[in-house]
Amino acid sequence: MAIYAIGDIQGCYDQLCRLLDKLAFDPSKDCIWALGDLVNRGKSSLAVLRLFKQLGSSAKTVLGNHDLHLIGVYSGLRTMQSGDTLDEIIDADDADELINWLRYQPLFIHNAKRNLSLVHAGIPPHWSIKKTLLEAKFLENILQDDNYIKQLKVLYEAPPTNLSAVNTDDSERIKWTAAYLTRMRLCDNKGDLCFNTIKPDLAKSGFLPWFSFPQSLQKGTIIFGHWSTLKGKTNVTNIHALDTGCVWGKQLTAINIDNFHRVAVNFD
Ligand SMILES: [Mn+2]
């Protein structure tokens, strides 16, 4: 039995099938844990979602920003953006079932036995694994609630602003949790975020890639996606970047979570 983490698929169904072939993936004994952004920008998001749902307990994903965007668009909380390729999902006969499947996926996976975590964007320096589990669960409970549309509205209205209000204001808590786990690249040691640039050289003083702070070394193995311009490298031994830019014509990468062996397929 093998468990493979797979980087951002973003609707690249053909490449996903070729990667699973190359891994000799057998759903009767192997599992895939995707790093989020299953959908959007690529041409076959519907087929990717259907495959994951059909694989049942052999496949899951942590949610990425594009997955939350799809849930928002489908729920009428958000409008389609230029470059989105989500129409085929919205119009599909099984859209309800697919969106419900997505709503029940986690934002954070932590395997205590392996001391290993999976997250789409990252874990901010001031959060422990325990805190990350707690905050992820808070937002997962909202996503999985029958009344999720009303509760999730704030997530799409405006970005998070007041970090000091997180403990007293559920709206800020929802926004910061989603921002950390699904969108973060650069942050400071207090957990403030920089969204103006993805280049550390151009960011304000004190803002660095989230995994560059010393606290990241204390959190076991972390595998994440979201940041394709890292080209799969962090230079931190316990932290593995797995978005290798398939949707941008580069590669789709899997990593075996027991031995960290990487397998990739090219876009074409
Ligand atoms: Mn992303």
Q: What is the pLDDT of residues 114-141, one digit of tens each?
A: 999 999 999 999 999 999 999 999 999 9
Does the structure show a pLDDT above 90 at 78? yes
pLDDT at residue 100, as a whole number: 98
Distance 113 CA to ligand 1 centre (A): 27
For the chain, the first-to-last Cα distance in angstroms comes to 29
Distance 10 CA to ligand 1 centre (A): 9
pLDDT at residue 206, as a whole number: 92
pLDDT at residue 200, as a whole number: 82
pLDDT at residue 201, as a whole number: 82
CA neighbor of 223 nearest in space, from 192, 254, 194, 249: 254
Distance CA 185, CA 210 (A): 6
pLDDT at residue 17, as a whole number: 98
Does the structure show a pLDDT above 90 at 203? no
* Structural domain harbouring 59: 3-266
Reported as a single tens digit per residue, the pLDDT across 151-177 is: 999 999 988 988 988 888 999 999 999
Give mean pLDDT, residues 202-228.
Answer: 95
pLDDT at residue 195, as a whole number: 85
Distance 184 CA to ligand 1 centre (A): 9
Does the structure show a pLDDT above 90 at 62? yes
Domain count, the chain: 1
Distance CA 232, CA 241 (A): 5
pLDDT at residue 225, as a whole number: 98
Distance 27 CA to ligand 1 centre (A): 26
- Secondary structure (3-state) at 108: strand
Domain CATH number, residue 148: 3.60.21.10
Distance 120 CA to ligand 1 centre (A): 7
pLDDT at residue 218, as a whole number: 94
Q: What is the mean pLDDT of the chain?
A: 96
Distance 159 CA to ligand 1 centre (A): 16
Please report which confidence band the pLDDT of residue 112 belongs to, taking 50, 70 and 90 as the band edges: very high
Dihedral (CA of 3, 104, 182, 129) sign = negative
pTM over 0.85: yes
pLDDT at residue 50, as a whole number: 98
Distance 66 CA to ligand 1 centre (A): 6
Please report which confidence band the pLDDT of residue 192 belongs to, taking 50, 70 and 90 as the band edges: very high
Distance 64 CA to ligand 1 centre (A): 5
